[in-house]
Structure formats: C-alpha cells, structure tokens
A and B are shown apart, each in its own frame.
Chain A
Amino acid sequence: MAEQEKAKKAEAYPYRYIDDITAPNMYHARFFRASVDRGIVLSLSLPEDPPEGLVTVFPGDLPGGNHIRVFSEAVPVFAANEILYKGQPLFLMAAAKQETLDDFEKGVTLDIETLPALGFENFTEEQITGERVLIRGNPEKALGESDVVVEETYETGSQIHNTSDPQGAVAFPEGEEIIVYSSTQWPFHVRDSVAAALKIPRKSVVVRVPDMSVPLDAKIWFPSVLAVSAAAAARKSGKPVRLVLSREEAIRFGLKRSPVIFRQKTALTKDGNPHVQDIEVFVNAGAFPVLSGQILDRITTGAAGVYACRNVRIHGRIIRTSSPPMGAFAGLGLASAFFAAELQAARVIETANRDPLEWKLKNILKKGNALVTGGVLKAATPGEVLLKRITAKSDFTRKWAAFRSVSERTGPEGNSVLTPSRGIGLSVCFQGNGMLGKGEVSETFSAGITMDKNGEVTVLTSGVSGRRDIFAVWKQLVASSMNIDEELVSVHPVDTSVVPDSGPSILSRNITIITKLIERCCVAVRKQRFRKPLPIEVRRSYSLPGSMSWNEETFSGFPFPSLSWAACVVELETAVPYDAGSPEIHIRGIWFTVDCGALLMRERAKGSIEAGIYQALEWVRAPGLMGFYRLPEGDNPTAICLSHPSYLPLMDIEFLPGGKQSSPGGVGELPFNCVPAAYTLALSQALGRQVSVLPELRS
C-alpha cells in the first residue's frame, strides 16, 4: 500500500531535486562560517562534551588535501588559518537533527585577529593575481595621430544567481564506495574532486545528478566543495549526509557574477570612426580567482566590441578581494565587455555627431575584418542584416531622432513635470560558442549511444540541463537520424559510473558540442546496424575543429568555433520627475533579433532568450535580487516595477531566416550581452545624461 502511494506521488510529480533526496538515518550537515571579512584564526575550540553521534570535518579530515582543483587553481574547501571572506566555511558539522547542530554551534568559540578587508576600487599591486595584455597594430603611435579622444569609465556590478533549486550535495557511504548526489553542471569534476580529497580511487566515487533548475553557471565548480564536505562527513559518520545551503547562505556567501571596471579610451579618425582603442579592464575575482583567467580571456575578446579597429591595446587585471568568490553568470564575462563596448561606441557616435545606425553599419565587423585577437572573419557576418532588420521593426531611427530632439529642447534636466521623457537604445553583440580557454584543451567532451537487443536507444552523456528541453532535442535528433520512433529513445540519467565525461555544461556546449557528438554517434550506429549484432554501443569525443586557428599561448587567432549574433532595441520612458531613489521606468518595447545558425527547437530557443532578457534586465535594474528578498511586504511599487512581468511588455523575439551558419549555435548568453547596453542607452537618452554604471541603482 505504501509503495502504491509512493508510486502515485511520483507519477503526479516525477521530479527529484537535490533538496528532495532523503534517506532513513540521514545526517544533516551545516558549515560553521567565518564572521569577519578577513583575518587569522588564532584559536578555535569546540564544546567539551559534543552530542553523541555528531561529527565534524576539518581540513585535517581530508587526506588528499584541503582543496579542490579547478584547472590550474586550487580552491580551499575550508579556511585553514587565514579567513579570506566573511562566511568562509571553517569546518562542517553533521548530526541526525538540526537542533543538535544549533546547540553545538552555540558552544563553539573562535578567536580571530581581524585584518583589513581587501577592496576592489582601491586595490594594491599585491591583489593582482593575473594579467592579460593584448596589442594589435600600433596603438601608441596611432593615439598620437588623433585629435579627438573619447575617454570614459564603465562599471558592471555583481549579480546573484538565486537559482530556483538550492546548492547542495547528499553523500551515501556504500562500503568502500561513496555515492554522491550533486546539483552540478560538471559531474566528473565532482567525482574527481571527491576522489582526490578523500584519497580514494575515482572508480570508488559515483556521482549522480538529480533534476536541476536553470543553473546560470552557479554550479560549475562550487558543487564540488559541497560534495567533498558531505562525502567526508559521510565517510566519518558512516551515515548518509545531506548538505543543502539555505537561500540566505547562498545569497550572502555564495558565488556571484564578477564585477568589472573598464577604462575606455577611443581615438577617432577625422570622420568619427574608431582609430585606436585603449582599454583597461579590472575583474573582481572575490576571494579566489577561480575561472577568473577564463573570464578575463573572454572579456578580452569582447572588450573592443563588434566594430573594426586596427589599433587596439587591452590590459586586463584580475583583482583578489575579500568578497565571496566571484565568477561566471550565464557566460564568462562577455556580457560585461559588450556593455562597456556598446556604451563607449555610443559616446563615440555622440562625439562624432553621427547617426547610430549609420555609424554601426559602417564600422561593424564584416567578412575580411579581424577580431581583436587577429582571427579573420572568413564568412559573411550577419551584423548588417541584424541591424537593418531590428531598426526597421522598432522604428529606431525615427524615434531616436525624435527623442533626441525633445531632449535637446528640454535640456539636461529633461523631465518636464507634464510629460515623461523617452529614450531608445540599440546594441549589437555576439556570443562565442565553445571557446576553449585556459586548461580546457585537455578536457574531454564525450558522448555515446547504445542500441539494445530490443532496438531501444539510450543516449549517454554527462551533459546536464536546467530543464528537460535539451533531452527532448536529443531524443528527437536520434529518432530522426536513426529513423525510429521517439518512444524508443531515452536519455540515461547522469551517473558517472555509466555515462561518459561530457565536460562542464557551460557556454551552450550541450547544443554546440554534445549535440554534434550525438549526431556522430547516430551515424556510427547506422553504419554498424545489421553488420554487427546488437547491442551496439558507440562513443565519440570532441576535438578542436581542424580549421580553427587558435593559439592559446599567444592569445591570437580565431578563438571560437562559431559565433551567434544578436541585436537589441529597448524603448523606455521615465516617470516624472525621475528620482534614482524611487525609479519609475516604464519599458515600452523590447526587440531582439538573432542569428544563431540552424535552430533545433525554435520555441525552446525563443523561451530561453525571453527568460534571459528578464534576467538581464534584473542585472541592469536591481543589485541582483529579483523578487525573493528585495520584495518587501505589500505592494511596494519600486519592487514590483523591478520584477513583475505585468509591468514589462511582451517581447518581439525574432530569428533571422536561414541563419548564416548551418550548425546550431548557442543563444543563452546573447540577452546578457545585448540587453543591458540597449536599456542603458535608452535610459541615458531619456535622462539626457550618460549612465555608465550597471546596475543603475547600485546604491
């Protein structure tokens, strides 16, 4: 009867997220966290009579070392002696009841020598943990040749991932083995990290991935820290251990998008086109520079924007601070780069007194132009088509001129008491699909399929998805490629003892790499069908395209196997009078046009872009918290204005017919790369003054 009841519940609700995983006799685990931004631990003492059964995990309980490795970086699991940020875990405690942990925690005493926190804006040389310098042409000489130089500083702020499902891990000791359920975008990294920290063979660790909501790159490496901690506690206690972070913990101490500062200097030709771009970039890495090298690399590829310029110098620095770890957010930094680049382009256009569309059409990267890394665009780019299409649909040119005329008439104070001020902004960007940055070249990306004796086909990959959409794409693809019924195709749940290592599910790689591998597997199975007996199993691995000219050492060539492009127009009006403390900004329209190559599922791609636009607007308009914690009690108009969809227009999202490239490209980063700049340019026009800080309401 109980089993029937269980089955009925599972049928009604077939999902299992990390916080849904429970077991009899399970222990609950919690971090004991540092209370200061930075300091030295002088002493830490535990209650003399700890409750029976309670276990603690300290650095010394990790025989393989108190760290996980992310490419070349070692990230501490627990603060050993030095506290690097407020909230850094000092140790883990686990017990059968939460109340036991509450009582135990009260008895812990900690003596800390507090040190000054490491800031971002006023960093010192010692805080620089990495640099990237890229020079094209002769920027120094060319800078001296120009009479007009436009200089500006831009800032992009942090953003909290606030994923719907929590960060967490549940570990089950099974004899010599350990089974870890981890909400992760990189299952094999979890496996390898647990094996290394516990000093046990990799085959003794099995990682299973439950359902996940959209992770927005919050779950690349951080889940490995949780998994190592939970696994160590499980081995020590002999019990299943559940470590699930509370919403508050995740928001206060979890990962966030890296804030970035850009100092842009653009020298112009006599007719107002870019002659030199001299750009300084400062990336706030937080306490650990994990993935910061990759982030800085991608920022470098986008910092000069999508416009041709022969002379470029980019000097990027990674700054370690006392903030919680900073890193990726739906991409690795291109969004910040394009925000600054598009705003700088607008300043150049204003200085040169040119029409935005005409200037962009003239200067946008075209076939034969080189990217900032020197790689030449050998195929026609869709930039011009996108710009013409989106400006026609949104009536951009007429509105831009009309709004400017009104703004000029009313002056910089702009807003009359009777009429709202309007503004319109245009931006264009690309998304680099599958750049292989530092250390990733040695990573493997594999996928496989098996056809069993009943003719049923199973897709094997460790690629994970925020929704089950991609699984539907793969099932459809396999069914179509092998000419079988879709009912005969399934995607195996991610389990590292069964599926091959498909690498981290980031940068739209499920679409751009794993889907291609599955296609190749289908071809291989078709060739073997009726030549070999069933079952047939094939696996294929990804290698860099032979045609790709990319030199990671010199950072030169063409870094991306393919590019997806997008253009965006945002039209808005500000209420009267505009007051930054009580923003009343009404978005009147959002137009978004995309060229991402072949589309596998149009509606899904459209939905992904729409969700991305909401998230990108959140980054622009609020310091990171949409809904959950920003919304005060009641109908606070500010909060609702920021988040509630009934205050936003439905969006006009369009894909260019017959994309320029035949293989599918990603779309996930495009809203973040495009919308913030278009919105900010529209706001700047409406206000009659330059807005250069994102989010605009950072105070």
Chain B
Amino acid sequence: MIIRFTLNGRLVAPDLNPEITLLDVLRQNFGLLSVKCGCRTGNCGACSVLAEGVLVPACLMPMFMIKEKTVLTLEGFSGYREYREISEGFAEAGYNPCGYCRPGKVLGAYDLLNNNPKPDEREILRALGGHQCRCNEYSSLVRAVTLISLKYGRRSV
C-alpha cells in the first residue's frame, strides 16, 4: 500500500505494509538513525518523533495512522533555529545525554516549550522524565530546559 506523508519537510510515498511501525520505516526505509529502537512498548522515549507537531513514540505508530500526516525527526529538526537553541542550552548547562536518548530529549524539550514556555522543575520532570536511559541525570536536564526557557522564551514551528 502506498502511504503518502510529509517527512522532514518532503513529501514521500513509500509502498509498504500499513501495519509496519513508523519506527521501522524511518530507520529501514529512510535511514533516519536518530530514531532509536529502545523498548518497542512506547515507554522509553528513544523513538520519539513529532507527528503533526505532537511528540509520539514511533514504535507504537502503525503506518496507516501516518497517512497524509507530517513527521519530523531530529534530522529534520536540526535545520530549525530551535534545534540550535536547545543544543546550545544543553551544552551551556553542562547537560550531555548519550546519543541514544538525546534525540528524544531534544524533541521532548521542544514539545514541552511549545506548550508550556515557562515550565517549572516538576513540569519539566513530568514531561521529560519518561525518557528512560541509563545515562539519566535529571538535575542537569532541569537546569538545561530552564535555561533554554529563560533565554529564548516561546518558539513555534
């Protein structure tokens, strides 16, 4: 089945099984390796992408749900000004997550700040605490997101 959707700003139309997950399609068909295969149960946040501007676990999204939708991965987001601001904020706060959870956390921070430009500590932890990784150190994450929030205010795509 041909499924048309917009991926990182480009219209694509792969021919595939509609029940295959967005995670597998992004990694195998499009080589987008920032979308990591963590738990395949929607719990770890490693496969997070933005679908229609909403943060979703790609491992739980069958392709038929993506038809005619827009999908943004870290590779696409890296062209945005907000990507640079979030990356610089992470670096400035000394927050250096591993490459496995970083993409999900960057997109998660973007999603949070889009919806809540001035989150407090608890709101940051509620939004991003679900990104499970063995490298997690939440105090730096809170510091980083707070810094970005103070420095740049609200942004939108």
Instruction: Say yes or no: A466 contacts B129, CB within 8 Å.
Output: no
Interface size on A, residues (CB 8 A): 46
Instruction: Say yes or no: A614 contacts B39, CB within 8 Å.
Output: no
Instruction: Say yes or no: A644 contacts B129, CB within 8 Å.
Output: yes
B86 within 8 Å of A (CB atoms): no
Smallest CB-CB separation from A601: which chain B residue?
Answer: B94
Interface of B is mostly: loop
A388→B132 CA distance, assembly (Å)? 35
Mask of A56-95 contacts with B, CB within 8 angstroms, 1/0: 0000000000000000000000000000000000000000
B6 within 8 Å of A (CB atoms): no
Instruction: Say yes or no: A214 contacts B134, CB within 8 Å.
Output: yes
**Binding stretch for chain A, among B49-57, B63-71, B95-103, B147-155:** B95-103
A615→B97 CA distance, assembly (Å)? 16
B133 within 8 Å of A (CB atoms): yes
Partner of B98, one of A164, A629, A643: A164
Interface residue ranges of B101-137 to A (CB < 8 Å)? 101-103, 121-122, 125-126, 129-130, 132-137
A164→B122 CA distance, assembly (Å)? 24
* B116 shortest CB reach to chain A, Å: 14
Partner of A19, one of B37, B43, B138: B37
* B86 shortest CB reach to chain A, Å: 13
* A275 shortest CB reach to chain B, Å: 42
* B47 shortest CB reach to chain A, Å: 12
Instruction: Say yes or no: A629 contacts B31, CB within 8 Å.
Output: no
Mask of A640-677 contacts with B, CB within 8 angstroms, 1/0: 00011110001100000000000000000000000000
* B145 shortest CB reach to chain A, Å: 13
The residues of A that contact B29 with a CB separation of less than 8 Å are none
Partner of A216, one of B36, B134, B136, B140: B134
A252 within 8 Å of B (CB atoms): no
Smallest CB-CB separation from B83: which chain A residue?
Answer: A12
**Binding stretch for chain B, among A197-205, A345-353, A603-611:** A603-611
By size class, the interface of chain B is 35 or more
* B89 shortest CB reach to chain A, Å: 15
Instruction: Say yes or no: A627 contacts B132, CB within 8 Å.
Output: yes
A628→B40 CA distance, assembly (Å)? 9
Instruction: Say yes or no: B132 contacts A643, CB within 8 Å.
Output: yes
A419→B40 CA distance, assembly (Å)? 41
B58 within 8 Å of A (CB atoms): no
B38 within 8 Å of A (CB atoms): yes
A603→B92 CA distance, assembly (Å)? 12
B22 within 8 Å of A (CB atoms): no
A20→B37 CA distance, assembly (Å)? 10
With A9-B33, A9-B75 given, can you name 14 additional A-B contacts, CB distance below 8 Å?
A: A12-B74, A13-B103, A164-B44, A164-B133, A164-B135, A213-B134, A467-B97, A467-B98, A607-B140, A615-B134, A628-B132, A631-B43, A644-B125, A645-B136
Give the 9 A-B CB pairs with smallest separation, nearest first. Answer: A15-B99, A12-B78, A646-B125, A627-B132, A13-B34, A214-B134, A607-B137, A610-B137, A645-B129
**A residues near B, CB below 8 A?**
6, 8-9, 11-17, 19-20, 162-166, 211, 213-214, 216, 247, 466-469, 603-604, 606-608, 610-611, 614-615, 626-629, 631, 643-646, 650-651
